[in-house]
A = this chain, B = another copy of it.
Amino acid sequence: MSYELYYWPTIQGRGEFVRLALEEAGADYIDVARESEGLAVMLRLMDHADHPPFAPPFLKDGDTIIGQTAAILLYLGARHDLAPKDPAGGLWTHQIQLTITDFIAEAHDTHHPVAASLYYEDQKAEALRRSAEFRKNRIPKFLDWFETILARNPASDAQLVGNRLTYVDLSLFQMVEGLSYAFPKAMKRVLKDVPRVAALHEAVARRPRMKAYLASPRRIPFNEEGIFRHYPELDS
């Protein structure tokens, strides 16, 4: 049976981290809300499921519904050989993903520092301040941490965990891709200081399934409704 992925149909957003894992695994899945009437199905499930997700994305596998991006990846990683089999390795991989979760939330809040329910234009002054801080302190702090993990990985400094691809490599690729879209000037500078992160980003993009996916219509282009938005005034 196919997995059913539920996420907002017009943005990459948090759903993209799940899409990348499904695509790299070669898993059968339906991106339900992008099908006709799919959005209504998604909203109905959120309202009526026994285990209602707080927000998309969520994954349906038969009768099981799993919400929270990092929990979905924990589930998929174990089933599709995208994480180590041993419990300690699996938990370390998950811990890295949870730190990516924090990074994603901070990236989102650069353009919505007051309220997700308000327009960007109504919180632009706050966004300017928060983005300056994010560019100057937070992007370097997070990317340095990933660089350190790569440097300390005894098996390979080309992967975050062990010597094979895991789902966190895909998620770090997406972070770099998204931040480079949103903050091209800042990222050009920062990436010079984290060569292993930059190399991992390039290597993931070259993987056959990733290359095919990124060139396909299944990959929604970045836009100014998602998490990673390019507002030139927020970059410098």
Contacts of A223 in B (CB 8 A): none
CA distance A91 to B72 in the complex (A): 9
- A33 CB to nearest B CB, Å: 20
Interface size class of A (residues with CB under 8 A): 35 or more
Contact A52:B145 (CB < 8 A) given known A113-B126, A133-B115: yes
- A98 CB to nearest B CB, Å: 4
Contact B52 A67 (CB under 8 A): no
Contact B91 A54 (CB under 8 A): no
Within 8 A of B (CB), among A54-89: 54, 64, 66-68, 70-71, 74-75, 88
The A interface, classified by DSSP as helix, strand, loop or mixed, is: helix
Contact B152 A137 (CB under 8 A): no
Contact B130 A68 (CB under 8 A): no
Contact B71 A102 (CB under 8 A): no
For residue A128, which residue of chain B has the nearest CB?
A: B114
Q: Flag whether A109 is at the interface (Cβ < 8 A).
A: yes
For residue A49, which residue of chain B has the nearest CB?
A: B152
Contact A68:B105 (CB < 8 A) given known A114-B129, A114-B130: no
Contacts of A109 in B (CB 8 A): 109, 113
Contact A98:B145 (CB < 8 A) given known A115-B133, A117-B137: no
Q: Flag whether A236 is at the interface (Cβ < 8 A).
A: no
Contacts of A95 in B (CB 8 A): 51, 53, 66-68, 71
Q: Flag whether A92 is at the interface (Cβ < 8 A).
A: yes
| Residues of A in contact with B (beta carbons under 8 Å apart) | 50-54, 64, 66-68, 70-71, 74-75, 88, 91-92, 94-95, 98-99, 101-102, 105, 109, 113-115, 117-118, 123, 126, 129-130, 133, 137, 142, 145, 148-149, 152, 154
Q: 18 A-B pairs, CB-CB below 8 angstroms?
A: A51-B149, A54-B99, A64-B88, A66-B95, A68-B98, A70-B98, A71-B95, A74-B94, A75-B91, A101-B101, A102-B105, A109-B109, A109-B113, A113-B130, A114-B130, A114-B133, A115-B129, A115-B133
